[in-house]
Amino acid sequence: MEGVHSNDNSTLGTRPNQHTGTIISNIESILVANLEALREARPMSIPIRSRMTGNVRLVRFPSTRRGEARKFTAILSIIHLCHEALIAGRVITKRDIYYQNPELYGNQDYVNRLVDDLAFTFDLGRDALNIVAAVKGLIVGGLKVIFHDDSTLYCNPHDRHNILIPETRTILGFDLGTTKWLLVIEKEATFRGLAASRFHELAAVGPGLLVTAKGYPDLSTRQFLHKLQTSFPLLPMFGLVDFDPHGVHIMLTYKNGSRSLQHEQNTILSRLTWLGPRSSDVLGFRTLEPAPTRECTPVDTTLPLRIRERRVAVKLLSSAIESDDEFVANNDLIRELQIMLLLNTKAEIQAVDDAGDLTKWLDNALTKEMKVL
């Protein structure tokens, strides 16, 4: 029966987890080994594989290392909650885990790191543990999402401006309708402004989808977009990020994934195109833009790079020079980073908005990009 899908966690366990048996067996092996160590008065231990080096280190209790007792207890607690979720066939969020024992974990980031470490140790994605992130990403547009339980989600409601992106494992498929493009937006405020103006319905190039992860892209949003890209490989996807090193980093994370979560599957948007703004859009350097050039209006809204931002830019530039990624050649990533460093400048998305109207700039940019696709 068709209906409106809820983002309540109770619906997230409707899709069977094919790795459940393996993970339960691995967890129980760890627990049994520690029970035997406890009976024999030996130190208990949990193997954890480093996401940076790939090496396995034993987290022991008791231990002479500072903070190791807390880490062992925290990992054991997460393993227990994961085991319970897998046995019950339900899904829990990382936020749920944190609020089970805030004094033990200290902060949400500590939980996040340990969960990702466990997934990497088991060589599986985090969702295979039946642990997901709290919903973060937003979407609006003429997309219909169809779930495994036969419910549906319409992403263009008339009573509100956005919809929380659902958990990918619950999705059976999509109905794209008349959608012609998708825009991934770095900032929530920009997303909400465009959604409120109904740009996804009124754009000159036709109806589209607006998506944001509210800054750095979370795993759930990236998995959702990857599934959408796989379902509709010809759907043009564009990125709207700040003209600064962090904006470029966010764009690359959507496109190529993140180093710390390389073990996670189905998170890459290989066909994502950087829409801008770029140097010619915010600085008015028309002579630097390869033909055909975009129309742009110079604006005085740039700021100097901070020391940390310069370091990020240098690191991204070094990686780009060593890479043979098609993204580098097609979107002049190296050139844009060099301009940022050479002129010691950055600008926000709103730089083009302050010069006029962001929707007009988007109409122009999308029209030119879609003509060459």
Beta-strand (E) ranges in the chain?
44-49, 56-61, 92-93, 131-132, 138-141, 144-147, 152-154, 163-164, 171-175, 181-185, 208-212, 237-240, 272-276
What does pLDDT average to over the chain? Answer: 84
Residue 173 has pLDDT above 80, yes or no: yes
334, exposed or middle or buried, with CB in 10 Å at 0-12, 13-18, 19+? middle
What is the domain-level CATH number for residue 91?
1.10.10.10
- Confidence label for 288 from pLDDT (cuts 50, 70 and 90): very low
Domain total of the chain: 2
Residues 6+ apart with CB under 8 A from 94: 108, 111, 112, 115, 131, 132, 133, 134
Asked if residue 291 and residue 161 are part of one domain, the reply reads yes
pLDDT for residue 65 is more than 90: no
**Which residue, 78, 100, 132, sits at the end of a domain?**
132
Name the phi and psi angles at 262, rounded to 5: -65, -25
Instruction: Please give the residue that has the higher pLDDT: either 222 or 283.
Output: 222
- pLDDT at residue 124 in the model: 84
Averaged pLDDT, 62-73: 91
Task: Say yes or no: 218 and 342 in one domain.
Answer: yes
Mark whether 102 and 224 lie in a shared domain. no
pLDDT of residue 280: 86
Gyration radius from the chain CA atoms? 23
Q: Which three-class secondary structure state does DSSP give residue 363?
A: helix
Residues 160 and 127 in one domain: no
Q: Are residues 216 and 351 in the same domain?
A: yes
Q: Is residue 3 part of a domain?
A: no
Residues 229, 327: one domain?
yes
Percent of the chain topping pLDDT 70: 84
- 232-247 average pLDDT score: 96
**Is there a domain that residue 252 lies in?**
yes
Question: Do 362 and 347 reside in the same domain of the chain?
Answer: yes
Identify the weakest region by mean pLDDT among 16-20, 96-100, 121-125, 143-147: 16-20
> Is residue 2 situated within a structural domain?
no
Q: Is 189 within the bounds of a domain?
A: yes
Give the predicted TM-score (pTM) of the model: 0.75
SS3 annotation, 30-82: HHHHHHHHHHCCCCEEEEEECCCCCCEEEEEECCCCCCHHHHHHHHHHHHHHH
107 and 163 in a single domain? The answer is no
Domain around 24: 10-132
User: pLDDT class for 289, splitting at 50, 70, 90?
Assistant: very low
**Residue at which a domain ends, from 132, 155, 180:** 132
Confidence class for position 137, pLDDT limits 50, 70, 90: very high
CATH number at residue 366: 3.40.1360.10
The stretch 191-195 carries a mean pLDDT of 92
Q: Is 271 a member of any domain?
A: yes
Q: Is residue 339 helix, strand or coil? A: helix
Supply the pLDDT for residue 128.
83
Q: Is the pLDDT of residue 162 over 60?
A: yes
Window from 166-180, 208-222, 245-259 with minimum mean pLDDT: 245-259
What pLDDT score was predicted for residue 29? 94
Asked if residue 4 belongs to a domain, the reply is no
pLDDT classification of 190: cutoffs 50, 70, 90: very high
- pLDDT per residue as tens digits for the range 292-349: 444 444 445 788 999 999 999 999 988 877 765 555 554 578 889 999 999 999 999 9
For residues 145 and 171, is the Cβ–Cβ distance under 8 A? yes
Q: Are residues 40 and 87 in the same domain?
A: yes
User: Which residue's entry shows tokens 């989808």?
Assistant: 209
Question: Which of 85, 106, 132 lies at the terminal end of a domain, its last residue?
Answer: 132
Peptide bond into 304 cis (omega under 30): no
Structure tokens, 334: 């190296």
Does residue 1 form part of some domain?
no
CB 82 within 8 A of CB 75: no
* Predicted pLDDT of residue 265: 60
Same domain, yes or no: 106 and 203:
no
Amino acid 300 reads D
Residues 217/218/224/226 CA torsion (nearest 10 deg): 60
**Residue 9: pLDDT over 70:** no
Where is pLDDT greater, at 15 or 218?
A: 218
Tokens of 223: 């998995």
Specify whether 207 is located in the same domain as 124.
Answer: no
Is residue 354 domain-shared with residue 240, that is, in the same domain? yes
- Residue 31, exposed/middle/buried by CB under 10 A (0-12, 13-18, 19+)? middle
Residue 155, pLDDT above cutoff 50:
yes
In a domain, 364, yes or no: yes
pLDDT band per the 50, 70, 90 thresholds, residue 205 = very high
